């Protein structure tokens, strides 16, 4: 579900230059997804009176936004009037308006209302919009000597030129420039613009996801994407070099209480020895040093094995958020294949700040509702070819999606099993969960896909928004004590079917527009202001209090069902499909709310993660010989699961990671203070790699990042797209 929320948010802005008002002028952009399929368009028309009309539509994976905008410009070329109407990715009504008269600015949407006195040029940042405001921002920023622009309600947008590229069509040529804008969301936003006196948007590309390019110039998309990837790599490599602190020689982490993921209990204080990324010894605190080169005093903090997010769609900008949250392993459940291979290579080479990724191959069938990434196939031969590719590239799991042809499901699953792969996924249209299990599924993604087992009929089109609306409306009425439900749970238990419920992601089902989405309430005040605003934008069309109460009851029943499955011994896997890092903490908190103990929730995110990624021999517990994927936490998350947000230090791939350094880079307020530091020990007969290194060489964890200030960081560019609608999620 994350993918497109990511794409359209960076493009909160758009495309028009200072043109003569004498004639109507229309500019069109074609929007394609990574496999080349046209998924939408943006049409910008400048009317005779100088007003701008924008029609925007994007449809992928059975949903997407439809927007109509009206814009009027002031003397500075920025909007003094903006009005957008339409529907969001999940069907919520959009009606947002901004106006400015003199120094008085006012705005109102379905989720907020505000006003502000402002002097000088300023750009209003809508909660929902097309790409159109971006172009206006491009021109306005280019005209500023410092290339900065005040944002409303708050913040500052900055712009920098990265480089130029010559593009061509039918004998015509022009030079376009790649720009980066920072100050919105959690990552730099890359955008292509024309050159000259009045630059405007030429294209917006999210490598591995989508391309929005001026009509007629689409053939240049791949060359532009390659140029942009190289530019992004420079920024990402610099982040990796600055935020990953290599551990050299033998390091001992003293005085830590280890969480035993097998027993779900804490040990007495221990000293953990780490060499070249692996644990070499675990001794009682106070034992002789044994020739360590450096030490970290954990100060009695709790040490967890690295956490697993079992439902990610990783992007190049996500890694810092995951690592800062203690997530050292992510199972990727669907990506553009070449883009994921690039990220895996960059991570292995140390160029990318990222967790360790366990890839799952994405397999979809062709239909008007297809999700267009991974392999989209027509027949069994195509499915087998895709499985062979995934197996040869080391994918231990296959994920099947909504439009997959049910007639070939059983044979496809059997073939994947013959190649040694686990099989999971959504339930293909026309089937219910019990039928997918009968066909050989090992695992089911998302709590709504589980609930549809009792709600859908063979005629229900679960490729559409119905897969969200039906569970929201009807789960409250399911009798969990009925024989139908009990038999289904018994089947799950007998066949050892794992469930990846992503409860935190589905909290949007009962979120009233204007109220904060609860999984993000605990972190909202730490976020950049524009990110915080988006947490209160509702996604579902919920009309009236009675409907809201019904949706709330349905969501509560979903939590109850997860707890019932857990108590029956059905494996639960902690996944997110949402904002990296933070959402995993919220997912575990929801398990506790449902009735699990905090320690049981931690087991799910450690032991179960390793077991169902087949990495138990190396991860999932703190043990001699295993990878040193270690997380130090302030407080006691075995008693209060909210303490899990207080990650003070992470070790993974033989690097020290200080969350506060990452948060400073991304414009996020820290959750802890005074992180433990690495100290060199006196030289011994061993070759002491730290003998001449001072205590400050690796930093204290407070961070000195240069970053991009308020809101540089990740999401697509997810925040990028998120602004548009929330399309990025795949569920």
Q: Is the pLDDT of residue 704 over 60?
A: no
pTM of structure: 0.91
| pLDDT in the model for residue 400 | 98
Has residue 664 got a pLDDT over 90? Answer: yes
| Residue 730 pLDDT level (bands cut at 50, 70, 90) | low
Burial of 300 per CB tally in 10 Å (0-12, 13-18, 19+): exposed
- pLDDT at residue 49, as a whole number: 84
Tell me the mean pLDDT in the region 216-244: 96
**Is the pLDDT higher at 19 or at 225?**
225
* pLDDT value for 290: 74
pLDDT in tens, 280-300: 999 999 888 778 999 999 999
Q: Tell me the mean pLDDT in the region 386-414.
A: 98
Q: What is the pLDDT of residue 684?
A: 59
Q: What share of the chain is helix, strand, coil (3-state, %, to 5)?
A: 30, 30, 40
DSSP labels for 210-238? Answer: EEEEETT-GGGHHHHHHHHHHHHHHHHHH
How many other C-beta atoms can be found within 10 angstroms of the C-beta atom of residue 341? 13
**Tokens, residue 431:** 């089937």
Per-residue pLDDT averaged across 687-712, rounded? Answer: 37
Domains and CATH numbers, the chain: 2-242+713-729 (no CATH), 248-305+620-653+668-698 (2.30.40.10), 315-611 (3.20.20.140)
DSSP string, 235-264: HHHHHHHHH-EE--SEEEEEEEEEEETTTT
């Amino acid at each position: 579900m994350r993918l497109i929320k990511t794409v359209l948010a960076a493009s909160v802005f758009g495309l028009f230059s200072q043109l003569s008002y004498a004639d109507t002028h229309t500019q069109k952009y074609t929007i394609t997804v990574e496999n080349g399929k046209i998924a939408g368009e943006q049409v910008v028309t400048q009317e005779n009176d100088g007003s701008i009309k924008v029609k925007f539509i994007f449809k992928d994976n059975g949903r997407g936004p439809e927007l109509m905008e009206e814009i009027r410009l002031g003397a500075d070329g920025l909007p003094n009037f903006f009005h957008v109407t339409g529907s969001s990715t999940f069907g919520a009504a959009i009606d947002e308006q901004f106006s400015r008269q003199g120094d008085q600015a006012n705005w109102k949407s379905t989720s907020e209302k505000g006003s502000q006195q402002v002097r000088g040029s300023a750009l209003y940042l809508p909660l929902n919009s097309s790409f159109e405001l971006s172009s206006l921002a491009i021109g306005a920023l280019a005209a500023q000597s410092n290339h900065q622009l005040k944002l409303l309600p708050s913040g500052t947008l900055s712009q920098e030129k990265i480089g130029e590229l010559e593009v061509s069509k039918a004998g015509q040529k022009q030079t376009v420039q790649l720009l980066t804008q920072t100050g919105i969301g959690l990552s730099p936003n890359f955008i292509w613009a024309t050159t000259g006196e009045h630059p405007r948007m030429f294209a917006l590309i999210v490598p591995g996801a989508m391309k929005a390019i001026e009509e007629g110039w689409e053939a240049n998309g791949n060359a532009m994407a390659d140029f942009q990837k190289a530019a992004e790599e420079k920024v990402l490599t610099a982040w990796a070099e600055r935020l990953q602190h290599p551990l050299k020689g033998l390091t001992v982490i003293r005085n830590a209480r280890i969480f035993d993921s097998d027993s779900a209990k804490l040990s007495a204080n221990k000293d953990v020895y780490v060499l070249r990324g692996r644990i070499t010894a675990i001794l009682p605190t106070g034992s002789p040093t044994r020739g360590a080169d450096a030490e970290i005093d954990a100060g009695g903090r709790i040490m967890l094995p690295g956490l697993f997010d079992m439902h990610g769609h990783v992007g190049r900008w996500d890694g810092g958020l995951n690592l800062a949250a203690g997530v050292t392993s992510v199972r990727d459940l669907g990506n553009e294949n070449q883009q994921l291979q690039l990220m895996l290579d960059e991570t292995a080479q140390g160029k990318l700040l990222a967790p360790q990724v366990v890839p799952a191959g994405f397999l979809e069938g062709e239909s008007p509702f297809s999700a267009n990434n991974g392999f989209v196939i027509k027949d069994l031969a195509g499915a087998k070819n895709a499985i062979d590719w995934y197996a040869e590239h080391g994918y231990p799991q296959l994920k099947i999606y909504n439009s997959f042809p049910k007639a070939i499901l059983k044979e496809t699953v059997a073939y994947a099993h013959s190649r040694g792969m686990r099989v999971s996924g959504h339930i293909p249209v026309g089937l219910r969960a019990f039928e997918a299990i009968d066909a050989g599924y090992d695992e089911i993604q998302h709590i709504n896909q589980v609930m549809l087992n009792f709600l859908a009929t063979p005629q229900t089109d679960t490729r559409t928004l119905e897969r969200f609306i039906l569970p929201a409306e009807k789960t409250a009425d399911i009798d969990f004590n009925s024989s139908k439900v009990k038999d289904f749970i018994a089947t799950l238990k007998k066949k050892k079917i794992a469930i990846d419920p992503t409860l935190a992601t589905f909290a949007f089902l009962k979120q009233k527009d204007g109220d904060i989405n609860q999984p993000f309430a605990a972190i909202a005040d730490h976020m950049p202001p524009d990110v915080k605003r988006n947490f209160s934008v509702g996604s579902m069309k919920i009309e009236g209090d009675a409907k809201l109460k019904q949706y709330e009851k349905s969501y509560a029943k979903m939590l109850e069902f997860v707890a019932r499955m857990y108590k029956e011994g059905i494996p639960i896997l902690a996944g997110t499909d949402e904002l990296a890092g933070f959402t995993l903490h919220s997912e575990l908190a929801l398990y506790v709310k449902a009735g699990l103990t905090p320690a049981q929730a931690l087991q799910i995110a450690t032991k179960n993660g390793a077991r169902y990624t087949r990495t138990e021999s190396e991860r999932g517990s703190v043990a001699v010989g295993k990878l040193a994927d270690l997380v130090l936490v302030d407080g006691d998350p075995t008693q209060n699961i909210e303490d899990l947000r207080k990650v003070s230090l992470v070790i993974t791939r033989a690097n020290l990671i200080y969350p506060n350094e990452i948060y400073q880079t991304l414009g996020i307020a820290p959750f802890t203070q005074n992180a433990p530091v690495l100290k060199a020990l006196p030289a011994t007969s061993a070759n002491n790699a730290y003998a001449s290194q001072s205590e400050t060489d690796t930093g204290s964890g407070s961070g000195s990042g240069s970053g991009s200030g308020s809101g540089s960081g990740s999401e697509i560019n997810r925040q990028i797209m998120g602004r548009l609608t929330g399309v990025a999620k795949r569920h």
